[in-house]
Structure 1
């Protein structure tokens, strides 16, 4: 088991958003975290990546507990936020350098991987561009490339399909499937359930900060038909 979220409750200040949330993400599997606005998806993600501390419960990644060994825990994660976060003073090339150095990757193999990804997402001729020149979709592609050059055991991706063109969505799904086949775990939040229908191994449905349903697509579809039809 890669990621285990066990009986987690927490939120912001005195406000409890999550109430006894429990689910797991196995190696080589994609778990889709879904729910309506305000259901607790972002709060769950913020707890898993360590921006928020649970008031109760445990979060474990490959036997490393977030609260006991945060450095080893976080070193296993690649996170792609919904809104791209780039340094305005750094070029695309420098962003990749920062990622390679932060994850202590082999320079040669990491750059070989980066060149392939840059070509896939049609950014190979923009290495010396600054973020100010990128569209929102291009910034999102930069975040994807930065994540996928790592050897992270768990990818956490927040609403990856919003802002991407149809070709980029197809390319991203192909990359996800390839990494899954190599044992990487994925936790993805999305409102576009249909896009992940053939790729997700399980869906976890949050409602009012609680897990209201979970399971593979056929089981999930029966449990929450109105949400699936909207997606």
Structure 2
């Protein structure tokens, strides 16, 4: 499974936010999408999941575009948004049932996965709760469980650590590692650069809607000429260089 973004230009109006963005996410790979607020991370994600239509360029999953086959394209993606989106009138159990129906999953197998995930994230005794009773962190965990029961080919995860306590953060990272091993591709945007440095296989550094650099940590250190630099050092150094050029 490969997500391929090729020369993507796009945004929310005729003035593009993204300019000629290209990168790939391969099977079994966790790619960190790194950038300051306004760099274009969420805009990139919204193009990948189909909320925005590219002005130029192409996005494919296994060679298929959203326009070619919307059902096949969307069925390969599970999305965890930065802010949890839940139906206030549905219980946790009903959210899971809705996800299972939407993806056409085998009911008993999906519920077996759900039970394991609910236990991991300490939600197994809250199946009849409505979203109004959940804290921000608990709502985030509901989104995580709903996404990962799908066993999707591609996970698109936007700032997943916001609102999660340290134990839930570890549980999510363990889950991502297991899904990588299964062969899923994962695109994750995050501001938590120390965690990204430790867990991501590859990085795409966005700045002002353009790819400033991409590669694994060793490659980025070579580009910057500092073989001990942290991801934070690399990102701030590279973006500062661009700002000075401007």
TM-score interval, smaller chain: over 0.9
Q: Which has the higher helix share?
A: 2
Q: CA deviation at 1:199?
A: 1.7
RMSD: 1.5
Q: How does 1:185-200 map to 2 (within 5 A)?
A: 185-200=185-200
d(CA) in 2 for partners of 1:141, 1:155:
15
Alignment pair present for 1:17 and 2:17: yes
Q: Which residue of 2 aligns with 1:64?
A: 64
Segments of structure 1 that go 5 or more residues without pairing to the other structure are: none
Q: Which residue of 1 aligns with 2:83?
A: 83
TM-score, scaled relative to structure 1: 0.96
Segments of structure 2 that go 5 or more residues without pairing to the other structure are: 237-246
Q: Which residue of 2 aligns with 1:177?
A: 177
Alignment pair present for 1:228 and 2:232: yes
Conservation of the 8 A alpha-carbon contact between 2:33 and 2:204: yes
Q: Which residue of 2 aligns with 1:37?
A: 37
Q: Which has the higher strand share?
A: 1
Number of residue pairs aligned between Structure 1 and Structure 2: 231
Residue 226 to residue 121, structure 1, CA distance change in 2 (3 Å): closer
Q: How does 1:1-231 map to 2 (within 5 A)?
A: 2-221=2-221, 223=223, 228-229=232-233
Conservation of the 8 A alpha-carbon contact between 2:2 and 2:61: yes
d(CA) in 1 for partners of 2:230, 2:124:
42
Conservation of the 8 A alpha-carbon contact between 1:221 and 1:228: no
